[in-house]
Amino acid sequence: MMRFNWSKRMAARSILAMSLLTLLPASGAGAQPAPAPVIEDFHEETIGADPTSFSLQAGFWSISADGDQPVLLEDGSRWEGSELASGLAAQAQATYGSRWAEFIDDLDIASYWPLAVFNKVERFDGGTLSVRFKMLGGQADQDAGIAFAIQPNGDFLAVKNDTQENGIVLYQAVQGQVNTLQRIEDVPTSMGDWHEQMLVISGMHLTVLLDGKVWLTTDLDVLPSGGVGLFAKRDTVVTFADFSVDPTRTNAPAGLEQSSLE
């Protein structure tokens, strides 16, 4: 009669099982989950308090309400330099006409850029970013939009919609100095109405949309990887809603109307 050595048989089974496991996809706590869209609607925030979903780098940010909708408010009227900026703006308009805002941007004394970094996405390497915004006020500025490629040292890229001048501007901030990379004019953006800004980033290519219409396409000089957030300018008063980060969507929606791109 043949006798089995059960200890050797169980050891062999264990070795076989371990070998098979090495061939299977990783799962469980050590696995890296597939990127998923994140939408911040501010419903878990407290009205009147600072936001918990964003880290505030500069500005006067708080959770407010638009009817029944909680929103993120940047109240630039509280900036201590707002009266100074308004005076400079009036002088610049009289001297430089329609290009007055570019003159103001170059003044160190008026250099102030409210920025809030989104806590729920540590790093964004590409995909689609979108937010709804409503411009409420601002004497010198009425500018707001999405910031991306935010670095630990404070450098970032940003796209702003300008309600006052009806334009879109692509900014780059390096060591505290904000420079204009590209400007698109004649972009209708009304005060007191909700608009949606959308950025689609694929590799180093950037597409900017406003209210479902393509206004800007360009290739960036650097890979736009880093944090993401929301951005305003000086004394702008603006509310934001429905901030969305979707790393799975790297193409602009098909069939969109395009402006005459510059």
pLDDT in tens, 185-196: 999 899 999 999
Confirm whether 176 is domain-assigned. Answer: yes
Residue-number span of the structural domain to which 53 is assigned: 35-251
Instruction: Determine, yes or no, domain membership for 129.
Output: yes
Quick one: average pLDDT of 89-106?
51
The residue-averaged pLDDT of 9-29 equals 41
CATH (domain of 190): 2.60.120.560
- pLDDT score, position 88: 52
Tell whether 13 is covered by a domain.
no
Q: Is residue 49 part of a domain?
A: yes
Which single residue is written with the structure tokens 């290519």?
Answer: 205
Q: Is residue 180 part of a domain?
A: yes
- The structural domain count of the chain equals 1
Q: Give the predicted TM-score (pTM) of the model.
A: 0.75
pLDDT of residue 124: 95
Give 230's contacts (C-beta < 8 A, 6+ positions apart).
54, 72, 74, 115, 116, 118, 131, 144, 145, 146, 147, 240, 243
- Cα gap 143→131, rounded to integer Å: 14
Of 136, 86, 150, 132, the C-alpha closest to 112 is 86
CA 115/CA 149 separation, integer angstroms: 13
Tell me: the pLDDT tens digits for 119-143? 999 999 999 999 999 999 987 788 9
The verdict on residue 134 lying in a domain is: yes
4 found inside a domain: no
Structural domain contains residue 29: no
